[in-house]
Chains A and B, each alone.
Chain A
Amino acid sequence: MTAKVETAMEQIEIATGVLVVGGGMTGVETALQVASQGYAVTLVEGGAEIGPGAESRPRGALPDGADLADRVARVRASDRIEVLSGTRLDAVAGLAGDFRAWLGTAEDVIERRFGAVVLATEFAVKPLFLGYQLSPGKAVIGQSDLENRLAEDPAAFAERTVAFVVGFAQNGNPLVMQRVFNSVKALQAAGAAGVNVFVADLKVADDGLERCYREGRDGGALYFKLKAAPQIATAEAGVTLTFPDPVLRRAVNADADLLVVEEALEVTAANADLAAMLRLDLGPQGFLQADNIYRFPVATNREGIFVVGASREARSLAWALTDARNAALRVRELLGDGKRSVPRDKAVVDIGKCTFCLTCYRCCPHGAIYWLAENKPVISPVACQGCGICASECPMDAIQIGGFRDDEVQGRIGAALADVNGDPAIVAFCCQNSALAAGEMAAQFKMPLPAGLRLVQVPCAGKIDLQYILDAFVKGADGVLVMACHPGNCKSERGNTYAGWRVEDAQRILAGAGLDAERLRFATLAANMGSDFRAIVVDMAQKIQELGKVSQ
Chain B
Amino acid sequence: MNSQTKKVMVIGGGIAGLTAAWELAAAGVEVALVEKAPFLGGHAIQYACKATDTCQQCGACGVEKMLANVVACDRIQVHLAAEVASVSGDGPFTVALRASGSAPAGAGACGAGYDADPQACAAGRGYSVHNGVFYGPDGSFDPRRVAAPADTTVDAVVLATGFVPFNPAEKPTYRHHELANVVTGLELERAKRIFGDVRRPSDGRLPARMAFIQCVGSRDERLGHLWCSQVCCPYALRSALATKHKHPEMDVTVFYMDIQNTTNSFGAFYDQCKSALRFVRTIPVDMYEAPDGAVRTRYMTEEDGAPVDEIFDLVVLSVGIMPGADNSALSRTLGIDLNGDGFFARPDLLNTSLTGRSGLFVAGTAGGPMTIAGAMAHAGQSAAAVLQYLGRASR
Contacts and interface: CB of A to CB of B under 8 A. Distances in A.
B26 A487 contact: no
Interface string A352-392: 00000000000000000000000000000000000000000
Given A204-B260, A441-B128, A532-B49, A489 B55 contact: yes
Interface of B: 23, 26-27, 45, 47-49, 51, 53-57, 59-65, 68, 110, 113-115, 121-122, 125, 128-130, 132, 193-196, 219, 221, 226-228, 230, 233, 257-261, 263-268, 270, 281, 302-305, 349-353, 368-369, 373-374, 376-378, 380-381, 383-385, 387-388, 393-395
Interface string A480-505: 00000111110000000000000000
13 contacts: A203-B258, A204-B219, A246-B305, A292-B57, A318-B350, A332-B27, A333-B27, A336-B395, A437-B129, A444-B132, A487-B55, A524-B51, A532-B49
A476 B381 CA distance: 52
Interface stretch (A102-110, A323-331, A404-412, A506-514): A323-331
Given A37-B395, A326-B377, 15 more contacts: A36-B393, A38-B395, A171-B261, A211-B227, A284-B265, A291-B57, A293-B373, A297-B376, A298-B377, A325-B380, A326-B380, A445-B114, A486-B55, A528-B193, A529-B193
Interface in A332-348: 332-333, 336-337
Given A325-B385, A329-B383, A66 B55 contact: no
A434 interface: yes
A285 interface: yes
Nearest to B47: A528
Contacts of B194: 531
Given A246-B305, A293-B373, A297-B376, A486 B394 contact: no
B261 A173 contact: yes
Nearest to A323: B377
Contacts of B258: 201-204, 225
Closest 3 CB pairs of A and B: A531-B196, A489-B55, A297-B377
Contact of B281 (A173, A225, A319, A528): A225
Given A246-B304, A437-B68, A318 B352 contact: yes
Nearest to B262: A291
Contacts, number: 215
Contact of B388 (A36, A208, A488): A36
Interface centre among A489, A526, A528, A529 (most CB of B within 10 A): A528
A63 interface: yes
Given A322-B378, A325-B381, A444-B132, A526 B51 contact: yes
A536 to B, nearest CB: 10
B55 A488 contact: yes
Contacts of A322: 352-353, 377-378, 380-381
A90 interface: no
Interface string A444-461: 111110000000000000
A341 to B, nearest CB: 15
A321 interface: yes
B60 A526 contact: yes
Nearest to A332: B27
Contacts of B115: 447-448
Nearest to B392: A37
A209 B261 CA distance: 14
A298 B302 CA distance: 41
A201 B59 contact: no
Interface size class of A (residues with CB under 8 A): 35 or more
A447 B55 CA distance: 25
Interface string A33-60: 1001111000000000000000000000
A247 B302 CA distance: 9
A466 interface: no
A82 B23 CA distance: 28
Given A38-B394, A201-B259, A529 B48 contact: yes
A284 B125 CA distance: 38
Contacts of A4: none
A171 B267 contact: yes
Contact of B384 (A33, A65, A207, A225): A33
Contact of A210 (B195, B228, B395): B228
A528 B49 contact: yes
Given A249-B305, A441-B129, A296 B384 contact: no
A171 B266 contact: yes
A66 to B, nearest CB: 5
A209 B228 contact: yes
A23 interface: no
Contact of A437 (B64, B281, B350, B377): B64
Nearest to A289: B264
Interface in A177-230: 201-211, 214, 225
B384 A528 contact: no
A462 interface: no
Given A225-B281, A297-B377, A445-B125, A337 B48 contact: no
Interface in A19-42: 33, 36-39
Interface string A521-546: 00011111111101100000000000
B381 A296 contact: no
A486 B51 contact: yes
